Chain A
Amino acid sequence: MRSTRTNNRNTKTNNTVMQDLQLLENVERYLRKEMTSDEALAFEQLRKDDPEVDQMVVEHTLFLEQLSVYGERKLFKSELNEIHNRLSGQGLVHKTPAPGKVVSIFKRYKRVTAVAASIAGITTLLIAGMTMYYSRKVNTAEIEQLRREFKQEVAKRTNEVYNKVKDRFPTKAPENALPISGGTGFLIDGKGYLVTNAHVVKGSKSVIIQNNKGQQFRASIVYENELTDIAILKVEDNDFKNNPVVPYNIRKSGPELGESLFTLGFPREEIVYNEGYMSAKTGFNGDTLSCQIGVAANPGNSGGPVFNKNGEVIGIINTRQVQAQGVVFAINSKNIYAALQEIRKDKSNDTSIQSMKLPTASVLKGLDRVQQIRRIEDCVFMVKSY
Protein backbone atom coordinates (compact mmCIF):
# COMPACT_ATOMS: atom_id res chain seq x y z
CA MET A 1 0.00 0.00 0.00
CA ARG A 2 2.86 2.33 0.80
CA SER A 3 4.52 1.56 -2.50
CA THR A 4 1.44 2.66 -4.40
CA ARG A 5 2.37 6.14 -3.35
CA THR A 6 5.33 6.14 -5.73
CA ASN A 7 3.12 4.98 -8.56
CA ASN A 8 0.62 7.65 -7.81
CA ARG A 9 3.10 10.46 -8.09
CA ASN A 10 1.21 12.09 -10.91
CA THR A 11 -2.09 12.05 -9.12
CA LYS A 12 -0.34 13.31 -6.03
CA THR A 13 0.55 16.54 -7.79
CA ASN A 14 -3.20 17.03 -8.10
CA ASN A 15 -3.02 17.54 -4.39
CA THR A 16 -6.13 15.74 -3.33
CA VAL A 17 -6.84 15.97 0.35
CA MET A 18 -6.78 12.23 0.92
CA GLN A 19 -3.32 11.94 -0.53
CA ASP A 20 -2.06 14.80 1.57
CA LEU A 21 -3.32 13.08 4.67
CA GLN A 22 -1.75 9.84 3.57
CA LEU A 23 1.55 11.56 2.99
CA LEU A 24 1.31 13.17 6.41
CA GLU A 25 0.71 9.78 7.93
CA ASN A 26 3.73 8.35 6.14
CA VAL A 27 5.92 11.20 7.23
CA GLU A 28 4.88 10.74 10.78
CA ARG A 29 5.28 6.98 10.79
CA TYR A 30 8.71 7.51 9.28
CA LEU A 31 9.72 10.02 11.93
CA ARG A 32 8.36 7.86 14.72
CA LYS A 33 10.25 4.96 13.20
CA GLU A 34 7.12 2.89 13.04
CA MET A 35 7.80 1.77 9.49
CA THR A 36 9.13 -1.64 8.63
CA SER A 37 12.63 -1.53 7.20
CA ASP A 38 11.28 -2.06 3.66
CA GLU A 39 8.80 0.75 4.00
CA ALA A 40 11.46 3.01 5.47
CA LEU A 41 13.76 2.31 2.54
CA ALA A 42 11.00 3.03 0.05
CA PHE A 43 10.16 6.24 1.84
CA GLU A 44 13.78 7.39 1.95
CA GLN A 45 13.93 6.79 -1.79
CA LEU A 46 10.79 8.89 -2.19
CA ARG A 47 12.43 11.67 -0.17
CA LYS A 48 15.39 11.64 -2.48
CA ASP A 49 13.21 11.68 -5.59
CA ASP A 50 10.74 14.29 -4.50
CA PRO A 51 12.10 17.47 -2.89
CA GLU A 52 8.55 18.37 -1.90
CA VAL A 53 8.25 15.28 0.26
CA ASP A 54 11.71 15.92 1.65
CA GLN A 55 10.69 19.47 2.55
CA MET A 56 7.60 18.13 4.23
CA VAL A 57 9.65 15.73 6.36
CA VAL A 58 11.91 18.55 7.51
CA GLU A 59 8.95 20.80 8.15
CA HIS A 60 7.10 18.15 10.08
CA THR A 61 10.13 17.37 12.21
CA LEU A 62 10.24 21.00 13.22
CA PHE A 63 6.53 21.04 13.77
CA LEU A 64 6.52 17.96 15.96
CA GLU A 65 9.36 19.43 17.97
CA GLN A 66 7.37 22.61 18.48
CA LEU A 67 4.38 20.56 19.47
CA SER A 68 6.33 18.56 22.01
CA VAL A 69 7.94 21.69 23.47
CA TYR A 70 4.47 23.17 23.69
CA GLY A 71 3.18 20.05 25.40
CA GLU A 72 6.05 19.86 27.86
CA ARG A 73 5.74 23.45 28.80
CA LYS A 74 2.02 23.14 29.24
CA LEU A 75 2.44 20.18 31.52
CA PHE A 76 5.18 21.94 33.44
CA LYS A 77 3.01 25.01 33.87
CA SER A 78 0.13 23.04 35.29
CA GLU A 79 2.57 21.24 37.55
CA LEU A 80 3.89 24.57 38.83
CA ASN A 81 0.38 25.73 39.50
CA GLU A 82 -0.32 22.56 41.38
CA ILE A 83 2.80 23.01 43.47
CA HIS A 84 1.95 26.62 44.12
CA ASN A 85 -1.51 25.74 45.35
CA ARG A 86 -0.19 22.95 47.51
CA LEU A 87 2.52 25.13 49.02
CA SER A 88 0.22 28.03 49.73
CA GLY A 89 -2.13 25.53 51.31
CA GLN A 90 0.69 24.47 53.61
CA GLY A 91 1.52 28.09 54.33
CA LEU A 92 5.03 27.74 52.92
CA VAL A 93 4.29 30.30 50.25
CA HIS A 94 2.87 33.45 51.69
CA LYS A 95 -0.34 34.34 50.05
CA THR A 96 -1.38 37.53 51.77
CA PRO A 97 0.77 38.95 54.52
CA ALA A 98 -1.53 41.63 55.89
CA PRO A 99 0.69 44.70 56.48
CA GLY A 100 2.68 44.11 53.32
CA LYS A 101 -0.48 44.19 51.32
CA VAL A 102 -1.49 47.63 52.38
CA VAL A 103 1.97 48.94 51.64
CA SER A 104 2.06 47.17 48.32
CA ILE A 105 -1.36 48.42 47.35
CA PHE A 106 -0.25 51.90 48.21
CA LYS A 107 2.92 51.50 46.23
CA ARG A 108 1.13 50.04 43.29
CA TYR A 109 -1.54 52.68 43.12
CA LYS A 110 0.62 55.59 44.16
CA ARG A 111 0.32 57.18 40.78
CA VAL A 112 -3.35 56.40 40.36
CA THR A 113 -4.01 57.83 43.80
CA ALA A 114 -2.20 61.02 42.86
CA VAL A 115 -4.26 61.37 39.70
CA ALA A 116 -7.47 60.58 41.57
CA ALA A 117 -6.63 63.14 44.24
CA SER A 118 -6.03 65.85 41.67
CA ILE A 119 -9.26 64.97 39.88
CA ALA A 120 -11.08 65.17 43.19
CA GLY A 121 -9.51 68.59 43.77
CA ILE A 122 -10.55 69.84 40.36
CA THR A 123 -14.05 68.47 40.84
CA THR A 124 -14.35 70.23 44.18
CA LEU A 125 -13.31 73.53 42.64
CA LEU A 126 -15.72 72.95 39.76
CA ILE A 127 -18.62 72.21 42.05
CA ALA A 128 -17.81 75.21 44.19
CA GLY A 129 -17.66 77.35 41.06
CA MET A 130 -20.92 75.97 39.77
CA THR A 131 -22.62 76.49 43.10
CA MET A 132 -21.54 80.12 43.08
CA TYR A 133 -22.63 80.54 39.49
CA TYR A 134 -26.07 79.10 40.09
CA SER A 135 -26.64 80.88 43.35
CA ARG A 136 -25.95 84.09 41.45
CA LYS A 137 -28.57 83.02 38.94
CA VAL A 138 -31.09 82.61 41.72
CA ASN A 139 -30.34 86.19 42.69
CA THR A 140 -31.11 87.48 39.21
CA ALA A 141 -34.28 85.40 39.27
CA GLU A 142 -35.31 87.16 42.44
CA ILE A 143 -34.87 90.49 40.77
CA GLU A 144 -36.98 89.26 37.90
CA GLN A 145 -39.62 88.14 40.31
CA LEU A 146 -39.96 91.66 41.52
CA ARG A 147 -40.49 92.73 37.98
CA ARG A 148 -43.02 90.03 37.45
CA GLU A 149 -44.95 91.19 40.46
CA PHE A 150 -44.97 94.59 38.95
CA LYS A 151 -46.34 93.02 35.81
CA GLN A 152 -48.94 91.21 37.84
CA GLU A 153 -49.96 94.52 39.31
CA VAL A 154 -50.52 95.85 35.83
CA ALA A 155 -52.48 92.76 35.02
CA LYS A 156 -54.50 93.20 38.19
CA ARG A 157 -55.23 96.76 37.28
CA THR A 158 -56.46 95.81 33.86
CA ASN A 159 -58.47 93.12 35.51
CA GLU A 160 -60.06 95.76 37.66
CA VAL A 161 -61.18 97.57 34.56
CA TYR A 162 -62.24 94.28 33.11
CA ASN A 163 -64.19 93.45 36.27
CA LYS A 164 -66.08 96.70 36.01
CA VAL A 165 -66.99 95.73 32.48
CA LYS A 166 -68.00 92.36 33.78
CA ASP A 167 -70.32 94.00 36.25
CA ARG A 168 -71.91 95.78 33.39
CA PHE A 169 -72.15 92.70 31.24
CA PRO A 170 -72.85 89.56 33.24
CA THR A 171 -70.57 86.63 32.44
CA LYS A 172 -72.06 83.78 30.48
CA ALA A 173 -69.31 81.35 31.35
CA PRO A 174 -70.25 78.15 33.17
CA GLU A 175 -69.75 78.53 36.91
CA ASN A 176 -66.35 77.61 38.35
CA ALA A 177 -65.10 76.59 34.94
CA LEU A 178 -61.76 77.60 33.48
CA PRO A 179 -61.47 78.02 29.72
CA ILE A 180 -59.58 75.11 28.15
CA SER A 181 -58.58 77.12 25.13
CA GLY A 182 -59.13 80.43 23.50
CA GLY A 183 -58.87 81.98 20.09
CA THR A 184 -60.45 84.41 17.72
CA GLY A 185 -63.50 84.18 15.48
CA PHE A 186 -65.24 86.49 13.02
CA LEU A 187 -68.78 86.93 11.73
CA ILE A 188 -69.62 85.75 8.25
CA ASP A 189 -73.31 86.49 8.53
CA GLY A 190 -75.31 89.12 10.34
CA LYS A 191 -77.53 86.47 11.96
CA GLY A 192 -74.65 85.37 14.15
CA TYR A 193 -72.58 82.80 12.27
CA LEU A 194 -68.86 82.88 13.06
CA VAL A 195 -65.84 81.20 11.58
CA THR A 196 -62.98 80.04 13.80
CA ASN A 197 -60.45 77.20 13.94
CA ALA A 198 -61.60 73.71 14.73
CA HIS A 199 -58.66 73.29 17.14
CA VAL A 200 -59.88 76.27 19.16
CA VAL A 201 -63.21 74.64 20.00
CA LYS A 202 -61.99 71.05 19.96
CA GLY A 203 -63.15 69.07 22.97
CA SER A 204 -65.19 71.93 24.40
CA LYS A 205 -68.53 71.46 26.16
CA SER A 206 -69.66 75.03 25.74
CA VAL A 207 -68.38 78.00 23.77
CA ILE A 208 -68.51 81.63 24.82
CA ILE A 209 -67.67 84.50 22.50
CA GLN A 210 -66.78 87.96 23.69
CA ASN A 211 -66.58 91.20 21.76
CA ASN A 212 -64.08 93.98 22.24
CA LYS A 213 -66.36 95.71 24.76
CA GLY A 214 -66.27 92.68 27.04
CA GLN A 215 -69.78 91.53 26.25
CA GLN A 216 -70.19 87.74 26.24
CA PHE A 217 -72.56 85.54 24.27
CA ARG A 218 -73.23 81.84 24.25
CA ALA A 219 -72.57 80.02 21.01
CA SER A 220 -72.90 76.51 19.67
CA ILE A 221 -70.81 74.64 17.18
CA VAL A 222 -72.65 73.92 13.95
CA TYR A 223 -69.75 72.65 11.89
CA GLU A 224 -66.31 71.29 12.64
CA ASN A 225 -63.70 69.99 10.21
CA GLU A 226 -60.36 68.99 11.69
CA LEU A 227 -58.79 68.43 8.29
CA THR A 228 -59.27 72.00 7.08
CA ASP A 229 -59.23 73.22 10.70
CA ILE A 230 -62.41 75.24 10.18
CA ALA A 231 -65.31 75.44 12.63
CA ILE A 232 -68.53 77.42 12.25
CA LEU A 233 -70.26 78.66 15.37
CA LYS A 234 -73.74 80.05 15.79
CA VAL A 235 -74.48 82.62 18.45
CA GLU A 236 -77.46 81.44 20.48
CA ASP A 237 -78.08 84.28 22.85
CA ASN A 238 -80.99 86.67 23.09
CA ASP A 239 -78.63 89.47 24.10
CA PHE A 240 -77.02 89.27 20.69
CA LYS A 241 -78.26 91.99 18.40
CA ASN A 242 -78.32 91.11 14.77
CA ASN A 243 -75.63 92.90 12.93
CA PRO A 244 -77.27 93.34 9.55
CA VAL A 245 -74.19 94.33 7.63
CA VAL A 246 -70.95 92.43 7.63
CA PRO A 247 -68.61 95.06 6.16
CA TYR A 248 -66.10 92.68 4.59
CA ASN A 249 -66.48 89.96 2.01
CA ILE A 250 -64.70 86.61 1.76
CA ARG A 251 -62.46 86.18 -1.22
CA LYS A 252 -62.95 83.13 -3.39
CA SER A 253 -59.64 83.26 -5.27
CA GLY A 254 -56.32 82.05 -3.94
CA PRO A 255 -53.51 84.04 -2.34
CA GLU A 256 -51.43 86.59 -4.25
CA LEU A 257 -47.75 86.57 -3.39
CA GLY A 258 -46.55 89.81 -1.84
CA GLU A 259 -49.95 91.41 -1.20
CA SER A 260 -50.05 93.36 2.02
CA LEU A 261 -52.42 92.18 4.70
CA PHE A 262 -53.51 92.85 8.24
CA THR A 263 -54.93 90.77 11.03
CA LEU A 264 -57.15 91.30 14.03
CA GLY A 265 -57.20 88.90 16.91
CA PHE A 266 -57.30 88.33 20.65
CA PRO A 267 -53.90 87.15 21.89
CA ARG A 268 -54.84 89.16 25.02
CA GLU A 269 -58.11 90.34 26.51
CA GLU A 270 -57.84 93.21 24.08
CA ILE A 271 -58.21 93.16 20.31
CA VAL A 272 -54.80 93.37 18.64
CA TYR A 273 -53.99 94.66 15.16
CA ASN A 274 -51.04 93.46 13.09
CA GLU A 275 -49.71 94.04 9.61
CA GLY A 276 -47.83 91.75 7.24
CA TYR A 277 -47.57 90.32 3.77
CA MET A 278 -48.28 87.14 1.87
CA SER A 279 -45.05 85.10 1.98
CA ALA A 280 -45.90 81.88 0.14
CA LYS A 281 -48.85 80.31 -1.61
CA THR A 282 -48.58 77.08 0.33
CA GLY A 283 -48.43 76.30 4.00
CA PHE A 284 -46.26 74.06 6.17
CA ASN A 285 -44.56 71.32 4.12
CA GLY A 286 -46.32 72.44 0.96
CA ASP A 287 -49.85 72.17 2.37
CA THR A 288 -52.11 73.64 -0.34
CA LEU A 289 -55.07 74.25 1.99
CA SER A 290 -53.14 77.05 3.62
CA CYS A 291 -50.63 79.76 2.83
CA GLN A 292 -47.69 81.32 4.62
CA ILE A 293 -47.89 84.89 5.82
CA GLY A 294 -45.31 87.13 7.38
CA VAL A 295 -46.95 88.63 10.43
CA ALA A 296 -46.53 88.55 14.18
CA ALA A 297 -48.94 86.06 15.70
CA ASN A 298 -49.28 84.68 19.21
CA PRO A 299 -51.39 82.07 20.95
CA GLY A 300 -54.93 83.45 20.80
CA ASN A 301 -54.62 84.62 17.22
CA SER A 302 -55.92 81.24 16.03
CA GLY A 303 -59.13 81.62 14.04
CA GLY A 304 -58.48 85.28 13.45
CA PRO A 305 -59.28 86.75 10.03
CA VAL A 306 -56.56 87.86 7.61
CA PHE A 307 -57.64 90.87 5.51
CA ASN A 308 -56.10 92.35 2.40
CA LYS A 309 -55.89 96.09 1.93
CA ASN A 310 -59.42 96.21 0.45
CA GLY A 311 -60.89 94.62 3.54
CA GLU A 312 -61.49 91.21 2.00
CA VAL A 313 -60.99 88.13 4.18
CA ILE A 314 -58.26 86.13 2.49
CA GLY A 315 -57.44 83.64 5.24
CA ILE A 316 -57.76 82.38 8.78
CA ILE A 317 -54.67 82.25 10.98
CA ASN A 318 -54.14 78.79 12.40
CA THR A 319 -50.51 77.86 13.08
CA ARG A 320 -46.99 79.17 13.30
CA GLN A 321 -43.64 77.48 12.96
CA VAL A 322 -41.92 77.15 16.33
CA GLN A 323 -38.30 77.10 15.17
CA ALA A 324 -38.64 80.06 12.82
CA GLN A 325 -39.41 83.68 13.44
CA GLY A 326 -42.44 85.27 11.81
CA VAL A 327 -43.51 82.18 9.89
CA VAL A 328 -47.27 81.97 10.32
CA PHE A 329 -49.72 79.85 8.38
CA ALA A 330 -53.28 80.77 7.47
CA ILE A 331 -56.06 78.69 5.94
CA ASN A 332 -57.14 79.96 2.53
CA SER A 333 -60.46 81.76 2.66
CA LYS A 334 -61.94 79.66 -0.14
CA ASN A 335 -62.11 76.80 2.34
CA ILE A 336 -64.93 78.68 4.06
CA TYR A 337 -67.02 78.31 0.91
CA ALA A 338 -66.25 74.64 0.81
CA ALA A 339 -67.33 74.35 4.44
CA LEU A 340 -70.63 76.07 3.75
CA GLN A 341 -71.32 73.76 0.82
CA GLU A 342 -70.84 70.81 3.11
CA ILE A 343 -73.24 72.32 5.63
CA ARG A 344 -75.89 72.89 2.96
CA LYS A 345 -75.67 69.27 1.86
CA ASP A 346 -76.63 68.22 5.38
CA LYS A 347 -80.42 68.80 5.38
CA SER A 348 -80.69 68.39 9.17
CA ASN A 349 -79.37 71.90 9.66
CA ASP A 350 -81.92 74.65 10.18
CA THR A 351 -83.09 76.81 7.32
CA SER A 352 -81.26 79.97 8.33
CA ILE A 353 -77.94 78.33 7.60
CA GLN A 354 -79.31 76.70 4.45
CA SER A 355 -80.25 80.06 3.08
CA MET A 356 -77.20 81.87 4.36
CA LYS A 357 -75.31 83.86 1.80
CA LEU A 358 -71.81 84.97 2.38
CA PRO A 359 -71.16 88.69 1.97
CA THR A 360 -69.90 89.22 -1.56
CA ALA A 361 -68.93 92.88 -1.59
CA SER A 362 -66.68 94.75 0.74
CA VAL A 363 -67.73 98.23 1.76
CA LEU A 364 -64.28 98.88 3.09
CA LYS A 365 -62.55 99.42 -0.20
CA GLY A 366 -60.80 102.77 -0.39
CA LEU A 367 -61.25 103.58 3.29
CA ASP A 368 -58.22 104.30 5.39
CA ARG A 369 -57.05 101.62 7.81
CA VAL A 370 -58.41 103.24 10.96
CA GLN A 371 -61.86 103.51 9.42
CA GLN A 372 -61.67 99.94 8.16
CA ILE A 373 -60.79 98.63 11.60
CA ARG A 374 -63.48 100.64 13.27
CA ARG A 375 -66.02 98.93 10.99
CA ILE A 376 -64.49 95.50 11.32
CA GLU A 377 -63.77 95.25 15.06
CA ASP A 378 -67.43 94.75 15.98
CA CYS A 379 -67.44 91.59 13.87
CA VAL A 380 -64.33 90.01 15.43
CA PHE A 381 -64.82 88.07 18.65
CA MET A 382 -62.76 86.31 21.22
CA VAL A 383 -63.69 82.62 21.38
CA LYS A 384 -63.38 80.82 24.69
CA SER A 385 -64.18 77.19 24.97
CA TYR A 386 -65.00 75.56 28.29
Chain B
Amino acid sequence: MKLALNEKAQLEGLAKNDKEIIESIYASHYNMVQSLVVNNSGSYDDARDIFQETMIVLYEKARSGSFELNCQLKTYIYSVSRRLWLKKLNQSQRYVSDIGNIFDTVPVDEQLEQHDQQNNDFSMMEKAMSGLGEPCKTLLEAFYIQKRSMTDIAGQFGYTNADNAKNQKYKCLARLRKLFFAQYKNK
Protein backbone atom coordinates (compact mmCIF):
# COMPACT_ATOMS: atom_id res chain seq x y z
CA MET B 1 0.00 0.00 0.00
CA LYS B 2 1.23 3.42 -0.95
CA LEU B 3 1.35 6.01 1.73
CA ALA B 4 -0.98 8.99 1.65
CA LEU B 5 1.96 11.25 0.92
CA ASN B 6 2.54 9.37 -2.26
CA GLU B 7 -0.97 9.87 -3.47
CA LYS B 8 -0.33 13.31 -4.85
CA ALA B 9 2.57 11.92 -6.78
CA GLN B 10 0.32 9.15 -8.00
CA LEU B 11 -2.20 11.63 -9.34
CA GLU B 12 0.54 13.55 -11.08
CA GLY B 13 1.78 10.35 -12.64
CA LEU B 14 -1.72 9.49 -13.71
CA ALA B 15 -2.11 12.87 -15.40
CA LYS B 16 1.13 12.23 -17.26
CA ASN B 17 -0.13 8.85 -18.35
CA ASP B 18 2.59 7.05 -16.46
CA LYS B 19 1.91 3.41 -17.07
CA GLU B 20 3.56 2.09 -13.95
CA ILE B 21 1.60 4.39 -11.72
CA ILE B 22 -1.68 3.60 -13.44
CA GLU B 23 -0.93 -0.04 -12.94
CA SER B 24 -0.15 0.38 -9.27
CA ILE B 25 -3.39 2.29 -8.66
CA TYR B 26 -5.23 -0.39 -10.57
CA ALA B 27 -3.67 -3.22 -8.62
CA SER B 28 -4.21 -1.70 -5.21
CA HIS B 29 -7.83 -0.64 -5.60
CA TYR B 30 -9.42 -2.99 -8.07
CA ASN B 31 -10.39 -5.72 -5.63
CA MET B 32 -12.17 -3.28 -3.37
CA VAL B 33 -14.41 -2.10 -6.20
CA GLN B 34 -14.91 -5.63 -7.43
CA SER B 35 -16.23 -6.82 -4.09
CA LEU B 36 -18.49 -3.77 -3.93
CA VAL B 37 -20.06 -4.54 -7.31
CA VAL B 38 -20.14 -8.30 -7.06
CA ASN B 39 -21.68 -8.23 -3.59
CA ASN B 40 -24.41 -5.96 -4.87
CA SER B 41 -25.82 -8.09 -7.67
CA GLY B 42 -23.16 -7.24 -10.25
CA SER B 43 -21.00 -9.49 -12.38
CA TYR B 44 -17.22 -9.48 -12.79
CA ASP B 45 -17.60 -7.68 -16.09
CA ASP B 46 -19.73 -5.06 -14.38
CA ALA B 47 -16.99 -4.63 -11.78
CA ARG B 48 -14.42 -4.15 -14.46
CA ASP B 49 -16.54 -1.56 -16.27
CA ILE B 50 -17.24 0.35 -13.09
CA PHE B 51 -13.65 0.37 -11.97
CA GLN B 52 -12.40 1.50 -15.35
CA GLU B 53 -14.93 4.26 -15.49
CA THR B 54 -13.83 5.37 -12.05
CA MET B 55 -10.27 5.42 -13.31
CA ILE B 56 -11.36 7.60 -16.22
CA VAL B 57 -13.03 10.02 -13.82
CA LEU B 58 -9.86 10.13 -11.79
CA TYR B 59 -7.73 10.52 -14.89
CA GLU B 60 -9.79 13.43 -16.18
CA LYS B 61 -9.71 15.11 -12.78
CA ALA B 62 -5.98 14.66 -12.53
CA ARG B 63 -5.47 16.11 -15.99
CA SER B 64 -7.67 19.12 -15.35
CA GLY B 65 -5.00 20.28 -12.90
CA SER B 66 -7.50 21.91 -10.60
CA PHE B 67 -8.21 18.71 -8.75
CA GLU B 68 -7.52 18.68 -5.06
CA LEU B 69 -7.78 15.36 -3.35
CA ASN B 70 -8.96 16.14 0.15
CA CYS B 71 -9.41 12.56 1.28
CA GLN B 72 -7.67 9.27 0.83
CA LEU B 73 -7.45 8.09 -2.77
CA LYS B 74 -9.07 4.86 -1.68
CA THR B 75 -12.08 6.71 -0.27
CA TYR B 76 -12.41 8.75 -3.41
CA ILE B 77 -12.30 5.72 -5.69
CA TYR B 78 -14.76 3.88 -3.51
CA SER B 79 -17.17 6.83 -3.46
CA VAL B 80 -17.07 7.27 -7.22
CA SER B 81 -17.46 3.57 -7.93
CA ARG B 82 -20.33 3.27 -5.53
CA ARG B 83 -22.11 6.21 -7.08
CA LEU B 84 -21.56 4.88 -10.60
CA TRP B 85 -22.77 1.42 -9.68
CA LEU B 86 -25.91 2.74 -7.98
CA LYS B 87 -26.65 4.74 -11.10
CA LYS B 88 -26.21 1.72 -13.34
CA LEU B 89 -28.44 -0.39 -11.12
CA ASN B 90 -31.08 2.29 -11.31
CA GLN B 91 -30.85 2.43 -15.07
CA SER B 92 -31.19 -1.30 -15.55
CA GLN B 93 -33.93 -1.30 -12.89
CA ARG B 94 -32.36 -4.27 -11.30
CA TYR B 95 -33.76 -4.87 -7.87
CA VAL B 96 -31.31 -3.84 -5.22
CA SER B 97 -31.43 -3.58 -1.52
CA ASP B 98 -29.54 -0.65 -0.14
CA ILE B 99 -25.82 -0.80 -0.83
CA GLY B 100 -24.15 -0.70 2.49
CA ASN B 101 -21.08 1.40 3.09
CA ILE B 102 -18.09 -0.69 4.00
CA PHE B 103 -15.83 2.31 3.80
CA ASP B 104 -16.31 6.01 4.29
CA THR B 105 -17.58 7.94 1.33
CA VAL B 106 -17.23 11.51 0.18
CA PRO B 107 -19.83 13.37 -1.86
CA VAL B 108 -18.95 13.10 -5.53
CA ASP B 109 -22.22 13.98 -7.27
CA GLU B 110 -21.00 17.29 -8.59
CA GLN B 111 -17.89 15.79 -10.10
CA LEU B 112 -19.87 13.00 -11.68
CA GLU B 113 -22.19 15.45 -13.33
CA GLN B 114 -19.19 16.88 -15.09
CA HIS B 115 -18.13 13.38 -15.96
CA ASP B 116 -21.54 12.69 -17.44
CA GLN B 117 -21.15 15.67 -19.73
CA GLN B 118 -17.79 14.39 -20.84
CA ASN B 119 -19.24 10.94 -21.35
CA ASN B 120 -21.87 12.48 -23.55
CA ASP B 121 -19.31 14.32 -25.65
CA PHE B 122 -17.26 11.17 -25.89
CA SER B 123 -20.14 9.06 -27.12
CA MET B 124 -21.09 11.79 -29.60
CA MET B 125 -17.61 11.78 -31.02
CA GLU B 126 -17.57 8.00 -31.01
CA LYS B 127 -20.83 7.96 -32.93
CA ALA B 128 -19.56 10.50 -35.41
CA MET B 129 -16.38 8.48 -35.84
CA SER B 130 -18.21 5.23 -36.43
CA GLY B 131 -20.49 6.98 -38.89
CA LEU B 132 -17.46 8.12 -40.80
CA GLY B 133 -16.45 4.73 -42.15
CA GLU B 134 -13.08 3.57 -43.41
CA PRO B 135 -10.48 4.68 -44.33
CA CYS B 136 -11.44 8.12 -42.97
CA LYS B 137 -11.75 6.84 -39.41
CA THR B 138 -8.33 5.21 -39.30
CA LEU B 139 -6.77 8.13 -41.09
CA LEU B 140 -8.09 10.67 -38.61
CA GLU B 141 -7.28 8.46 -35.65
CA ALA B 142 -3.73 8.06 -36.88
CA PHE B 143 -3.28 11.79 -37.16
CA TYR B 144 -5.25 13.22 -34.25
CA ILE B 145 -5.06 10.47 -31.69
CA GLN B 146 -1.85 8.60 -32.36
CA LYS B 147 -0.34 11.94 -33.46
CA ARG B 148 1.64 10.43 -36.29
CA SER B 149 3.19 12.57 -38.98
CA MET B 150 1.51 13.04 -42.34
CA THR B 151 4.45 11.45 -44.23
CA ASP B 152 4.24 8.41 -42.00
CA ILE B 153 0.50 8.10 -42.58
CA ALA B 154 0.84 8.60 -46.33
CA GLY B 155 3.29 5.68 -46.38
CA GLN B 156 1.02 3.41 -44.37
CA PHE B 157 -2.15 4.16 -46.32
CA GLY B 158 -0.36 4.06 -49.68
CA TYR B 159 -0.82 7.68 -50.71
CA THR B 160 1.78 8.81 -53.23
CA ASN B 161 2.75 11.80 -51.13
CA ALA B 162 1.97 13.55 -47.88
CA ASP B 163 0.04 16.29 -49.67
CA ASN B 164 -2.49 13.88 -51.07
CA ALA B 165 -2.90 12.30 -47.67
CA LYS B 166 -3.35 15.76 -46.20
CA ASN B 167 -6.07 16.63 -48.71
CA GLN B 168 -7.84 13.43 -47.91
CA LYS B 169 -7.47 14.14 -44.22
CA TYR B 170 -9.18 17.52 -44.59
CA LYS B 171 -12.02 15.99 -46.52
CA CYS B 172 -12.49 13.41 -43.78
CA LEU B 173 -12.23 16.07 -41.10
CA ALA B 174 -14.92 18.16 -42.78
CA ARG B 175 -17.21 15.13 -42.81
CA LEU B 176 -16.49 14.30 -39.18
CA ARG B 177 -17.27 17.87 -38.19
CA LYS B 178 -20.55 17.68 -40.03
CA LEU B 179 -21.52 14.44 -38.30
CA PHE B 180 -20.44 15.71 -34.89
CA PHE B 181 -22.18 19.07 -35.05
CA ALA B 182 -25.30 17.50 -36.50
CA GLN B 183 -25.68 15.64 -33.19
CA TYR B 184 -25.21 18.89 -31.31
CA LYS B 185 -28.08 20.39 -33.22
CA ASN B 186 -30.29 17.42 -32.60
CA LYS B 187 -29.93 17.76 -28.88
Contacts and interface: CB of A to CB of B under 8 A. Distances in A.
A121 interface: no
B23 A66 contact: no
Q: Label chain B's interface by main secondary structure.
A: helix
Interface stretch (A6-14, A88-96, A202-210, A302-310): A88-96
Contacts of B94: 111
Given A67-B144, A71-B141, A80-B26, A107 B41 contact: yes
Interface string B49-72: 000100110011001000000000
5 contacts: A63-B181, A76-B56, A84-B48, A94-B34, A107-B40
A24 B141 contact: no
Interface string B8-41: 0000000001010011001100110010001111
Interface in A72-109: 72-77, 79-81, 83-84, 86-87, 92-96, 100, 104, 107-108
B31 A63 contact: no
A21 interface: yes
A67 B56 contact: no
A73 B30 contact: no
A87 B34 CA distance: 14
Contacts of B149: none
Contacts of A84: 26, 30, 48, 52
B26 A83 contact: yes
A259 interface: no
Interface of B: 17, 19, 22-23, 26-27, 30-31, 34, 38-44, 48, 52, 55-56, 59-60, 63, 94-95, 118, 121-122, 124-126, 129, 140-141, 144-146, 166-167, 170-171, 173-174, 176-177, 180-181
Interface of A: 20-21, 24-25, 28, 59-60, 63-64, 66-77, 79-81, 83-84, 86-87, 92-96, 100, 104, 107-108, 110-111
B43 A104 contact: yes
A96 B41 contact: no
A307 B155 CA distance: 99
A93 B31 contact: yes
Contacts of B145: 67-68, 70-72, 74-75
Chain B CB count within 10 A is highest, among A75, A79, A96, for: A79
B174 A21 contact: yes
A67 to B, nearest CB: 5
Given A71-B145, A108-B41, A79 B22 contact: yes
Nearest to A93: B30
A64 B63 CA distance: 17
Contact of B39 (A20, A81, A104): A104
A73 B56 contact: yes
A86 B177 CA distance: 37
Contacts of B40: 107
Nearest to B177: A63
Given A67-B176, A75-B17, 10 more contacts: A24-B173, A60-B177, A67-B125, A70-B126, A80-B55, A93-B31, A94-B31, A104-B38, A104-B43, A107-B39
Contact of A93 (B27, B43, B55, B141): B27
Contacts of B55: 76, 80
Given A66-B125, A71-B145, A25 B56 contact: no
Contact of A87 (B30, B39, B63, B180): B30
A26 B43 CA distance: 50
Contacts of A60: 177
A80 B19 CA distance: 9
A71 B144 contact: yes
A81 B56 CA distance: 12
